[in-house]
Chain A
Amino acid sequence: MLNLEIVTPEKKVLSETVDSVTIPTASGEVGILTNHVPLISSLKAGVLAYTKSGATERMVIAGGFVEVSQNNVSILADVAETADEIDVETARAERDSLEKELSAWKGSLEESESERERLEKAQAQLALVSGR
């Protein structure tokens, strides 16, 4: 069993005992089970999934960090939303405008980092909503 805790700067989003959790980190997806080795990683925008007694719940998280120690999974994210909280229209508009902006991007790859992060977040939001 794992204690999953998701906090954003504004509030504690979730605090639950779960069986497993899959986290989108900067180096790819990481699946965490009981007795996972202590771990710290930065997150990337994506869909987080956790299973609790057979049922899988999903959330979009963006920006932040994860810390795993002694069966405690702490996620410090800038954004954490369930499918119900996502505004599809806004996310779609955001994705479209960012895609346009990035395809016409003149500057270097580093300069577009924040735009790419926002695009990833919008994509993750849409993926979560459509996957429901």
Chain B
Amino acid sequence: MASLLDMRRRIKSVKNTQQITKAMKMVAAAKLKRATDRVTAARPFAKKMSEILGNLSARVGDEFSSPLLTDRGDEKYLVALVTADKGLCGGFNTNLMKATQNFLKTNAGKSTEMIPVGRKGRDFFKRRQMKFVEEYVGLTGTGRIEHTDAVEIAQGIIKTFTEDETIDKVFLVFTEFKTVMSQEVKVEQLLPIPRTSLDETETQSAAQAEYVYEQPASEIFGRLLPKQIETQIYRAMLESVASEQGARMTAMDSASKNAGELIDTLTLNMNRIRQAAITKEIIEVVSGAAAA
């Protein structure tokens, strides 16, 4: 049986761990608040953007052609995977990897390349010999996503897509933030931009008056499309950061709880051992006295 001292040591170490998990939970909670604020702040822009796009899409119709809209076939995929830079956030990264691997499995016939955003995804797929076009690491770690970072990534993707015509489709894998407890991994087609996603708002905007276009509608449309990609990636990154912090908060909360339970059982055991030692001593004293 473990000695009293051993038990004390174990309790102390579990307590230390609990302190760390508690602190991490607090930090995650604070970061989560900021992250969700940013998600909310980014919404008006994205909403307005898809409204205008829907309008323009209906207006320019199918005559307008852009490499970002044209279907190319179904042979080679590029996957942009948004993960966290750090671990200790429950199943957050694992879920992303699983979803991505599932996606790769269902599309096993296609050749796939990847753009990992986030250290965890990069490391995971590097070990699996995935070919990377480009990698972005160290952006999500701070919990502050700058729009310029998203623009850089988006422009990189657009450049790769327009220059390398063998790439047929670009997908974006990220975690959508629903609530603190639930996050959902999403796989969205980024490029070519699905026409349907543009036309979604068409019905409501059709009622609006005809617009005067200062520049040709197709020109504005052409300039809006890359912006739409930027907005989508920015949103994905913001959602991902919020999800990451949410997942970490939940994970650290249950870790603190588990540590508490462990401390309770250990303390009980320790007291038992202590009591056993005392009882043993009393018996020794009593039987010693009886023998004398």
Contact = CB atoms under 8 A, between A and B. Distances in A.
Interface residues of A, number: 25
A84 interface: no
A39 B48 contact: no
Interface string B52-66: 100110000000000
Interface of A is mostly: strand
Contacts of A9: 42, 45-46, 147, 150, 230-231, 234
A39 B211 contact: yes
The 5 closest A-B pairs by CB, nearest first: A41-B214, A11-B41, A7-B45, A38-B211, A9-B147
B49 A76 contact: yes
Interface stretch (A25-33, A85-93, A96-104, A123-131): A25-33
A5 B44 CA distance: 10
Interface string A1-37: 0000101111110000000000001110010000001
B48 A7 contact: yes
Given A38-B209, A40-B55, A69-B208, A12 B214 contact: no
A42 B220 contact: yes
Given A10-B41, A69-B209, 16 more contacts: A9-B150, A9-B234, A12-B41, A12-B45, A27-B214, A38-B210, A39-B211, A39-B214, A40-B212, A40-B220, A42-B215, A42-B220, A65-B52, A67-B48, A74-B48, A76-B52
Interface of B: 38, 41-42, 44-46, 48-49, 51-52, 55-56, 147, 150, 208-215, 217, 219-220, 223-224, 227, 230-231, 234
A40 B205 CA distance: 13
Contacts of A39: 211-214
A4 to B, nearest CB: 13
A41 B48 contact: no
27 contacts: A5-B44, A7-B44, A9-B45, A9-B46, A9-B147, A9-B230, A9-B231, A9-B234, A10-B45, A25-B214, A26-B215, A37-B212, A39-B211, A39-B213, A39-B214, A40-B55, A40-B211, A40-B212, A42-B214, A42-B219, A42-B223, A65-B223, A69-B211, A70-B208, A70-B209, A74-B48, A76-B52
Interface of A: 5, 7-12, 25-27, 30, 37-42, 64-65, 67, 69-70, 74, 76, 78
A65 B208 contact: no
A26 B214 CA distance: 8
A27 B234 CA distance: 29
A64 B147 CA distance: 14
Contacts of A12: 41, 44-45
Contacts of A76: 45, 48-49, 52
Contacts of B49: 76
Contacts of A78: 147
A74 to B, nearest CB: 5
